[in-house]
Structure 1
Amino acid sequence: MPLRQFRLLLLSVLLALPFSASAQEPAAPSAKRADHGKPLIIAHRGASGYLPEHTLAAYAVAILQGADYIEPDLVMSKDGQLFARHDNELGLTTDVARHPEFAERKRKATIDSVELDGWFSEDFTAAELKRLRAIERIPDVRPGNTRLDRQFEIPTLQEIIDLVKALQVSQGREIGLYIETKHPAHFQQLGLAMEKPLVETLARNGYADAEAPVFIQSFEVSNLKALRQLSSLRLVQLYGKGQPQDQVELGNPLTYEQMATSAGLKAVAAYANGVGPDKGYVIPCKADGSLGEPTRFVADAHAAGLLVHPYTFRAENQFLPTDLQRGSDPAARGDIDAELRAFLATGIDGLFIDQPDIAVRLREAATH
């Protein structure tokens, strides 16, 4: 995105904010519901292809680009506040390493069976997290995003909701929240269970049932089943590799591969409204890395009554099948349009993308 265009987008956001609706009020009525889009376009960590992820600026740009939903990943602070970060380890996406006052907080920890060395959100109060600033996660692939390093705070869930409500007014349409709970079993073991504060925060802001423009997703199973007991909000089971972490800790041999069978999908439908598979479940790549043929995953999920929202589409060569890469630069854009068309042809109901404007453009072109 040219810098001038980016500045204009942010100026639009700033002009919209003074007309913000109260966070305590229901979403303003609009001509277009968030679920009206076919397929739904979900801004993965905001417009993370253009700005540092999980910042209010990234979410705002995604909305202005036409995304139906924005995706905040949530972690917990030491004092039980919900913040938007992809991981509870803060070193990759914040400037915590530049804060000498937090140097002694660096430690080793095992998170979801992986040993990490860094700074962790559960060791910081909300006030301390607010002193940090976001940085680009993958600067080698997205060097342009680094121009905005250390410009934006780490937002709370409430701040994200406030932004959404403000932009609903200025944009004249409903904007959805597609929330992921990160490492819920880990936080539960720390006495920082996420489910109740998440549901309570959403309810305070008018998001209380299955009609609300909200999805809550998780790679774990127990987390979603607990949420189902607390709320009728729509839930989505994510699919990755191996096993859900909570099932590992419970000693249950259940794998994502088993959950992806026809019988497994029917079992998921007992507690979830949709599934969020890695896109390889829908169209795997061949041995040479080129795009393969569609599987039965979408058909089987639909037969079980589940929505299908695969992740994650990214425009850079590094993330594309080999036959859709263009040139030798991993950071250059490849033929993302061809990849998106192939997946849309499978009948998916929505998709996660780092550059939501690309998916919006393709969707609009398909309707004309």
Structure 2
Amino acid sequence: MTRPNYLSAAVLCIASLMAIPAQAATLNSPYNTLTGDAPLVIGHRGAPAYLPENSIGGNELAAEMGSDFIETDVMMTKDNVLIAMHDTTLERTTDVAAFYAPRNGGYAVSDFTYDELKLLAVKPTGTGDETYPGFTPSGDDPYRIPTFADMLDALTAYNDANGTSVGMLTEGKYSDNIETSRAVIRTLIEKGYDTPEKSVVQSFDFDNVSDYADLLAAAGVEMGVAQLGIGWPLDDGTLGVLSFGGAFGTLSELSSYTDTVALGFGTITEELIAAAHGEGLSVYGWTFRPEDLEDAFDLAKPFLDWGLDGFITDSPDYLRLAIDGYGSELAPVPLPAGLPLLLVGLFGLAGLKRRT
């Protein structure tokens, strides 16, 4: 169903006033990214600051807010169905307790079949809600637990209906498991997410990331491959990525089979970005959670100065404006936390002031 894209129109309206002409931007880009292009806005599990995470409805809102990619977590159910889910348990993000008693002492995803999980709704967390002003999701049940295949189909349908090209950043939320990794790559290829412009795969597990690279090479397909972790210097000053499990890879080592490092933004430095770019690696930062538009400008500016290539964020609307406004003379006035971007777009530049 085609419907007015209010949020995208609002963002584009403001961005067009804030940014230099596109042709000039190509010739004289203000961005210090690896390619010189504007950094990516990556909706972290959709737009969880506003709607339930890892849901089709949340992904659509993130797309309308100007995301270039949607970050989605995947794992297997008991009957080997890939679903979109961050936690290994169901309590935080679903209404599972209303339907089922605990199994094996809890609610592990791996203890339930997908047919059982289809009964559950994905509920909002944090500042999220069940609706967003001016936004109506497509489909009959946009806040159920989706299969990974369904989520890709929904994103394709959104892109086709709106003339967009939002891609998928897929994170494997499981320890090293070659069969699950194989299912992730197979599903992405089958659904047409088989180019770097459409698809990036990532994991905190070094073996998973290595498996992704090997599987893509065997399939003769190129996608983006990213190693998740935190930026970490060794005692001798060597820069690299440290995983939560304690594994470490230097930027030089990682560049042999990945093209991106995705790091906790508090561990990213100007030196690290420069070193990564020197190895041909782009750098994404996670997870940016600005409270309002002014906070987004202040939070993003040093990373934009340093050349960060991608911002993974719960609030893609704020980051879209901060990135598109970078290098201009315009900056935001303080806004009430959570004020819908829709109002900013519909009522012009009321939310912006000149940068001093």
TM-score of the superposition, structure 1-length normalised? 0.69
| CA offset digits 1:159-215 (Å, max 9, x no partner) | 111111111122212110011000233xx3xxx83111111111111233x445100
One-letter amino acid of the structure 2 residue matched with residue 126 of structure 1: Y
What's the secondary structure of 1:207's corresponding residue? coil
> Percent identity over the alignment?
30
Change (3 A) 1:266 1:120: same
1:131 aligns with 2:87: no
Report runs of 4+ in structure 1 exceeding 3 Å deviation: 10-13, 240-245
Note if contact 1:278-1:310 (Cα within 8 Å) is conserved in structure 2.
yes
Aligned to 1:181: 172
Aligned to 1:237: 227
Kindly state the Cα deviation for residue 39 of structure 1 after the two structures are TM-superposed: 0.6
Aligned to 2:247: 254
What's the secondary structure of 1:73's corresponding residue? strand
Q: Provide the C-alpha distance between the structure 1 equivalents of 2:325 and 2:48, rounded to a whole number of angstroms.
A: 23
How many pairs does the alignment contain? 277
What's the secondary structure of 1:90's corresponding residue? coil
The one of the two structures with greater contact order (alpha-carbon pairs below 8 A, sep at least 6) is 2
Kindly state the Cα deviation for residue 37 of structure 1 after the two structures are TM-superposed: 6.0
1:269 aligns with 2:260: no
Change (3 A) 1:96 1:269: same
1:157 aligns with 2:148: yes
Greater fraction strand = 2
What's the secondary structure of 2:226's corresponding residue? strand
Aligned ranges for residues 31-110 of structure 1 at < 5 Å?
38-99=38-99, 102-105=100-103, 107=105
Change (3 A) 1:166 1:305: same
One-letter amino acid of the structure 2 residue matched with residue 152 of structure 1: Y
Note if contact 2:290-2:299 (Cα within 8 Å) is conserved in structure 1.
no
Q: Provide the C-alpha distance between the structure 2 equivalents of 1:271 and 1:347, rounded to a whole number of angstroms.
A: 22
Unaligned runs of 5+ in 1: 1-9, 14-34, 108-117, 283-293, 317-331
Q: Provide the C-alpha distance between the structure 2 equivalents of 1:65 and 1:195, rounded to a whole number of angstroms.
A: 30
Q: Provide the C-alpha distance between the structure 2 equivalents of 1:172 and 1:341, rounded to a whole number of angstroms.
A: 30
One-letter amino acid of the structure 2 residue matched with residue 137 of structure 1: T
Q: Provide the C-alpha distance between the structure 1 equivalents of 2:96 and 2:54, rounded to a whole number of angstroms.
A: 16
Aligned to 1:353: 313
Q: Provide the C-alpha distance between the structure 2 equivalents of 1:367 and 1:179, rounded to a whole number of angstroms.
A: 31
Note if contact 1:71-1:177 (Cα within 8 Å) is conserved in structure 2.
yes
Q: Provide the C-alpha distance between the structure 2 equivalents of 1:341 and 1:333, rounded to a whole number of angstroms.
A: 12
Change (3 A) 1:219 1:51: same
Which of these residues, 338, 362, 368, is aligned with residue 298 of structure 2? Answer: 338
| CA offset digits 1:284-321 (Å, max 9, x no partner) | xxxxxxxxxx44110111111101011110023xxxxx
One-letter amino acid of the structure 2 residue matched with residue 213 of structure 1: K
Aligned to 2:271: 296
Kindly state the Cα deviation for residue 217 of structure 1 after the two structures are TM-superposed: 0.7
Q: Provide the C-alpha distance between the structure 2 equivalents of 1:174 and 1:265, rounded to a whole number of angstroms.
A: 30
What's the secondary structure of 1:337's corresponding residue? helix
Aligned to 1:24: none
Change (3 A) 1:97 1:54: same
One-letter amino acid of the structure 1 residue matched with residue 173 of structure 2: K
One-letter amino acid of the structure 1 residue matched with residue 287 of structure 2: T
Kindly state the Cα deviation for residue 104 of structure 1 after the two structures are TM-superposed: 3.7
Unaligned runs of 5+ in 2: 6-34, 133-140, 217-221, 233-241, 329-356
Aligned to 1:323: none
| CA offset digits 1:317-345 (Å, max 9, x no partner) | xxxxxxxxxxxxxxx88722201112111
Q: Provide the C-alpha distance between the structure 2 equivalents of 1:360 and 1:308, rounded to a whole number of angstroms.
A: 17
What's the secondary structure of 2:119's corresponding residue? coil
Q: Provide the C-alpha distance between the structure 1 equivalents of 2:193 and 2:287, rounded to a whole number of angstroms.
A: 26
Which of these residues, 243, 253, 264, is aligned with residue 278 of structure 1? Answer: 264
Note if contact 1:184-1:194 (Cα within 8 Å) is conserved in structure 2.
no
Aligned to 1:221: 206
